Chain A
Amino acid sequence: MHADPKGVLTGLHFIDGDHAACEGAIAAGCRFAAGYPITPSTEVVERFAARIPLVGGVFIQMEDEIASSIAILGAAWAGHKVMTVTSGPGLSLMMEHIGYAAMTETPCVFVDVQRGGPSTGLPTLPAQADMMQVRWGSHGDYNIIALSPNSPQECFDLMIKAFNLAELYRTPVFFMMDEVVGHMTERVAIPRPEDIEVVPRRWTSRKPGEYKAYEPGEDLVPEMVKAGDGYRVHVTGLTHDERGYPAMNPQAQDKLVRRLVDKIRKNAHKLVDVRGENLEDADVVVISYGITSRIAAAAVEEARAAGLKVGHLRLVIVWPFPEQLVAELASRVKAFVVPELNLGQMVREVERVVAGRAQVVSVPHAGGTVHQVEDILAKILEVAK
């Protein structure tokens, strides 16, 4: 289906990534957001609070991030598309509800505008240091989807994709921005509503009595209902059977938890979203995501100008990690260079998949600024020797 015209500001805008992300969310159909102020993410909900009264929806500033992260789940079970927006310290507080959303298969989007950490760290300065936390941060086994935009335009475009994936897979979807992407202002083109494809909730067509809340379809995702429609659904964070009833035994645990992981893992090939450049002849491949990809692109360009066969693989969907693609590249390239605004997070995933078939070199940066082009170029030159 197409976007509801009421929420779409078609035209050309000159706005920052935080504002563009908000417009993407509204265009995607988000009509409920809850949040708690935290730099550098607050502008997303400030814009939402300003825009939503005349679009038809609700924003509530909750008492903390814990409350925000579960208020959205309540609204999702009332039928809304929902999001909350935060940065590192807030994301840490939200972790229990990320697990609850995964366990109860509640579609929701968590926007994380990353800043330097740990703890209060660098509130106003960038990092990409929550990449492992979003994958593994809540306790237990589960799986999630995470996207990483590198421009305000992508904050708009990919936000729609984030909401669509949350509906398709009924899983928390993370929108991994960073302070630079959040605060940089660029041209953002917002298309006409009829050119924006939005995925509706996967409502069941079954009648009450015939419907089981957690009976999966072929793609391992169950159909959904909302409170108030007569299904008398029970939702619990306890291990549950297909009816949604608590089932405290190893068999139920195995069945449920495997499915929660497999619904992403077995569909991972459909979820690959990368931008590749000059990969065909590459001896060295730079793997990057988010703001770092823009510096990496400059480094790759300089290296190619110097005659080196260097390619660039940008991860747009970071989780699930594009294992097959990277494994295939590992069989034919000499080395991977992985710059990121942390001391080595996604590089571990590259190392795991490459499994010794090629050299993997990290270009770490503790955050606060982005890399210098020379930092990445130096590593490229080093491994290309």
Chain B
Amino acid sequence: MSSAAVNIELPQLQNPLMQYLRQDRIPHIWCPGCGIGTSLNAFIRALDEMQFDLNKLAVISGIGCTGRVAGYLNVDSFHTTHGRAIPFATGLKLGNPDLKVVVYSGDGDLFAIGGNHFIHAARRNMDLMVVCVNNFTYGMTGGQVAPTTPLGATQTTMPYGNFEPPFNLPYLADSCGAVYVARWTVYHVRQLTRAFKEGLSKKGFVFIEVLSPCPTLYSRRNRLGDGVEQLKYYKERSVVKNGADTREVGLTFQGDIVVGTFVNRERPTWLDAMNEHFSQRFGDRYQRYGVRHED
């Protein structure tokens, strides 16, 4: 029996946020339950809500699971070397001050191998927004101890539990001179989106820590359940304290998590300081640096 062919024009429905991703790079490499994708979702929502000019945004990543963020975003994006996203971003920003330059990387990348660059970029107040997805571990290499691993947590290279004190990242950023410091978890998607919007609007060294589950390596090895279990933990144990003294926001193994916007202040950026200084020194002979280079 024959049936009349029916052509139904289906509406081309697409998530409006897909334009922010390199769709030919999807699916991504992240594990089920990982929070990096959630953080990225909050980031592109922030871009969308701000109607950010994507041609004026560059995202730089180092190496690791979060290091892959740059590759999925449909902007000028640079996947650099391990730990060196910040100095690359420094060169890019100083090379073209018109760009908003975001460093998006993991805790091991930014604070172990890259720790020196972080403290100096914060000290200089380099105009960069640094997003650290902190999952307390080295995910890409299989779950080794990180400079953020809480005391007592088990990792492959701390098989009997971690005995090294971790960094308190907001305190580190604050003490080095960051002008904006916030911490949220991937449970706090609205607050995180707002923090990204504030960070993208802020001039100077911005630091946003995003706590994220690593179900495959951190949670499993510490018998903390799956990604959902970790989100429940974030929900139940997070305490919002905007303006908290960053000395008091250190993290412990499955303890309370202080979240919020801890620092929001003004300080001249490196480039503003340079321009101001040379203008005073050389007067009219000095042309302020920062126009685009077309040569």
Taking CB as reference atom, which chain A residue is nearest B72?
A234
Residues of B close to A79: CB separation below 8 A: 95-96, 292-295
Is B38 located at the chain interface by the 8 A CB criterion?
A: no
Chain B residues closer than 8 Å to A237, beta-carbon distance: 79-81
A76 CB–B CB distance under 8 Å:
yes
Q: Mark A33-60, 1 if CB is under 8 A from B, else 0.
A: 0100000000000000000011011101
Q: Is the CB of A227 within 8 A of B282?
A: no
Taking a contact as CB atoms under 8 Å apart, the answer to whether A227 and B25 are in contact is no
Mask: chain A, 235-274; 1 = CB below 8 Å from B; 0 = not: 1111000000110000000000000000000000000000
Q: Which of A20-40 contact B (CB under 8 A)?
A: 29, 31-32, 34
Name the A residues within 8 Å of B79 (CB-CB): 234-238, 246
For this complex, into which size category does the number of interface residues on chain A fall? 35 or more
- Residue B56 is within 8 A (CB to CB) of chain A in the complex: yes
Q: Which of A68, A77, A100, A230 contacts B92 (CB 8 A)?
A: A77
Contact among A31, A67, A77, A238 with B84 in the assembled complex (CB-CB below 8 Å): A67
- A229 interface residue (CB < 8 Å to B): yes
Cα(A158)–Cα(B278), bound, Å: 31
Residues of B contacting A279 in the complex (Cβ-Cβ under 8 angstroms): none
List the B side residues contacting A31 at CB < 8 Å: 293
Residue B90 lies at the interface, judged by CB distance under 8 Å to chain A: yes
Is the CB–CB distance between A32 and B95 below 8 Å?
yes
CB of A233 within 8 A of CB of B76, answer yes
Residues 46-71 of chain B, each 1 if its beta carbon lies under 8 Å from chain A, else 0: 00000000111010100000000011
Q: Is A196 an interface residue (CB 8 A)?
A: no
Tell which of B84, B94, B281, B287 touches A58, judged by Cβ atoms closer than 8 Å. Answer: B94
CB within 8 Å for A70 and B91 given contacts A97-B81, A228-B55, A228-B58? yes
Interface string of B272-295 (1 = CB under 8 A from A): 001000100110011101001111
- Enumerate chain B residues within 8 angstroms of A136, measured Cβ to Cβ: none
Q: Which residues of A contact B74 (CB under 8 A)?
A: 232
- Which A residues touch B295, using CB under 8 A? 4, 29, 79, 200-201
List the B side residues contacting A60 at CB < 8 Å.
90, 94, 270
CA distance A17 to B71 in the complex (A): 42
Specify which of B71, B80, B96 is in contact with A226 (CB 8 Å cutoff). Answer: B96
How far apart are B18's CB and chain A's nearest CB, in angstroms? 14
Instruction: Report how far A29 CA is from B295 CA in the complex, Å.
Output: 9
* Residue pair A73, B286 in contact (C-beta under 8 Å): no
Q: Tell me how far the C-beta of A4 lies from the nearest C-beta in chain B, rounded to whole angstroms.
A: 8
List of A residues within 8 angstroms of B116 by Cβ: 63-64, 67
Is A246 a contact partner of B71 (Cβ separation < 8 A)?
A: yes
Interface status of A80 (Cβ within 8 A of chain B):
yes
Closest B residue to A55 by beta carbon equals B287
A70 lies within 8 A of B81 (CB): yes
- Per-position 1/0 for B29-50, Cβ under 8 A of A: 0000000000000000000000
Beta-carbon nearest neighbor of A32 in chain B: B95
In the assembled complex, A276 has its CB within 8 A of some CB on chain B:
no
Query: Is A66 an interface residue when CB atoms closer than 8 A count as contact?
Result: yes
Is there contact, CB below 8 Å, between B282 and A70? Answer: no
A68 CA to B60 CA, complexed, in Å = 16
Chain A residues with CB under 8 Å of B229's CB are none
Question: How many contacts between A and B, using CB within 8 angstroms?
Answer: 151
A311-B58 Cα distance, complex, nearest whole Å: 55
How many angstroms from the CA of A82 to the CA of B285 in the assembled complex?
A: 24
Size of the chain B interface, CB-CB below 8 angstroms: 48
Q: Which residues of B contact A67 (CB under 8 A)?
A: 84, 86-87, 90, 116-117, 120
Which residues in A have their C-beta under 8 angstroms from that of B293?
A: 31, 78-80
- B76 lies within 8 A of A232 (CB): yes
Q: A23 to nearest B CB, angstroms?
A: 19
Q: Is the CB of A71 within 8 A of B76?
A: no
Q: Answer whether residue B98 sits at the interface, using C-beta atoms and an 8 A cutoff.
A: yes
The reply to whether B94 and A232 form a contact with Cβ atoms under 8 Å apart is no
In the complex, what residues of A have CB within 8 A of residue B282's CB?
A: 53-54
Q: How far is the CA of A226 from the CA of B58 in the complex (A)?
A: 11
| A62 adjacent to chain B (CB < 8 Å) | yes
Residues of B within 8 A of A100 (CB): 80-81
Among residues of A, the one whose C-beta sits closest to the C-beta of B85 is A70
B233 in contact (CB, < 8 A): no
Give Cα A280–Cα B77 distance, bound, in whole angstroms: 54
Measured CA separation A63–B295 after assembly (Å) = 29
Q: Is A75 an interface residue (CB 8 A)?
A: yes
B contact residues around A96 at 8 Å (CB)? 81
> In the complex, what residue of chain A is closest to B68 when comparing beta carbons?
A246
Q: Is the CB of B80 within 8 A of A70?
A: yes
CB-based contact B99/A228 at 8 Å = yes
A5 close to chain B: CB less than 8 A: no
Q: Is B22 an interface residue (CB 8 A)?
A: yes
| Complex contacts, B55 vs chain A, CB 8 Å | 228-230, 232
Cα A57 to Cα B98 in complex, Å, equals: 15
Residue of A nearest to B292 (CB): A228
Q: Bound state CA distance, A245 and B274, in angstroms?
A: 37
Q: How distant is the Cα of A73 from the Cα of B76 in the complex, in angstroms?
A: 14
**In the complex, what distance in Å separates the CA atom of A253 from the CA atom of B49?**
40
CB within 8 Å of B: which A200-229 residues: 200-201, 226-229
Instruction: Give complex CA distance A52, B266 in Å.
Output: 28
Give chain B residues whose Cβ lies under 8 Å from the Cβ of A63: 87, 116-117, 120
Nearest residue (CB) in A for B275 is: A53
> Cα distance A233–B75 when bound, in Å?
7
Q: Is B89 positioned at the interface, with any CB of A under 8 Å from its CB?
A: yes
Listed by A's residue number, 28 A-B pairs whose Cβ atoms lie within 8 Å are: A54-B286, A57-B289, A60-B90, A60-B94, A63-B87, A63-B120, A70-B80, A71-B88, A72-B91, A73-B88, A74-B60, A74-B95, A75-B91, A78-B92, A78-B94, A78-B96, A82-B91, A201-B295, A226-B96, A228-B56, A228-B98, A228-B99, A234-B79, A236-B78, A236-B79, A237-B79, A237-B80, A245-B22
Further pairs besides A54-B286, A236-B78: 10, Cβ < 8 Å: A31-B293, A53-B281, A66-B84, A74-B90, A74-B91, A75-B91, A75-B94, A100-B81, A230-B55, A245-B25
The 8 closest A-B pairs by CB, nearest first: A78-B95, A74-B91, A71-B91, A75-B95, A74-B92, A67-B87, A236-B79, A78-B96
